[in-house]
Amino acid sequence: MATINTFGNIDLYTLLLSWFLVSALCVWGRPATFAQDFQITWSESHIKQIDQDRAIQLILDRNSGCGFASKNKYTFGRISMKIKLIPGDSAGTVTAFYMNSDTDTVRDELDFEFLGNRSGQPYTVQTNIYAHGKGDREQRVNLWFDPSVDFHTYTIMWNHHHIVFYVDDFPIRVYKNNEGKGIPYPRMQAMGVYSTLWEADNWATRGGLEKIDWSKAPFYAYYKDFDIEGCPTPGPANCASNQSNWWEGAAYQALNAIEARRYRWVRLNHIIYDYCQDKSRYTVIPPECIAGI
């Protein structure tokens, strides 16, 4: 009888431990449904909620593109979404996922822009950073997989130390906080989370040489696993400055060894444009390029 009780206690302990671990995961990594955190901002007829509101379909046709935005703004944290991009001939289209302060002269913005291409050519992802109203910091990477076959995770990590753009677990761009060297860094303004699907064939593919083939329309992109972890506005006044927030921890203040190797691999093999190297645009190298990561 004692043996049976001991076994029962162990079984209960295991059950409780499993419940605690699952609960912890739910707290720290809860992907929201679309309606919980987002609202449609442009062309409601071109955004379809699917899979019981856990995913959405964005539509681009001759009539319109579309867009959505978070209900709140956030200061620091991590945002991520799983996106499946337009398959086949997507030239001239742009699927964007970004953060924006929605302010004019001193705009802060962190951009993922997925530039469509002709069938068989690699998808290009362009990143850009606006700090205190100054942008023009474009970098472009050719993805090493077909992002239209399945969902992949695209993440922006933003804290007091750096901004990192991730494709799955691969960092493709790092922008360090070098305010001590007089370099602007997005720090003072909350930013909303946005996404759009739109036609930009005047610049998106080969500088506008490749136009949209409207006979292939409508074009579809899919989103799911919406995850925002940050300091909301409105919210606690001291949240953004709280160094105890998990995204401010030592593990997130710089790339770890594995991430650094992956970052070097991306930079060596897949980057196709870096404004830091564009002497036709910048006869003097921008100071953040010299400061490095």
In three-state secondary structure terms, 105 is coil
The tokens for 235 are 């919210």
As a whole number of angstroms, the distance between CA 5 and CA 172 comes to 54
In angstroms, the CA 286 to CA 16 distance is 55
Q: Which of 44, 109, 199, 288 is catalytic?
A: 109
- Dig out the tokens for 127 from the structure: 């990143």
For every residue of 110-179, DSSP letters joined together read EEEEEE--STTSPPEEEEEEEBTTB----EEEE-SS-TTTS-EEEEEEE-SSEEEEEETTEEEEEEE--G
Those residues whose C-beta lies under 8 Å from the C-beta of residue 30, and which sit 6 or more positions away, are 227
Active-site annotation holder among 113, 199, 229, 288: 113
Q: How far is CA 70 from the centre of its chain?
A: 13
Query: For residue 219, what are the β-bridge partners?
Result: 60
How is 109-120 classified by DSSP, letter by letter? EEEEEEE--STT
In the residue annotation, 259 being an active-site residue is answered as no
Torsion of Cα atoms, 83 then 87 then 92 then 94, to 10°: 0
Using DSSP's 3-state secondary structure scheme, residue 194 falls into strand
What's the CA gap between 250 and 236, in Å, rounded? 23
User: Annotated catalytic, 44?
Assistant: no
Catalytic residues: 109, 113
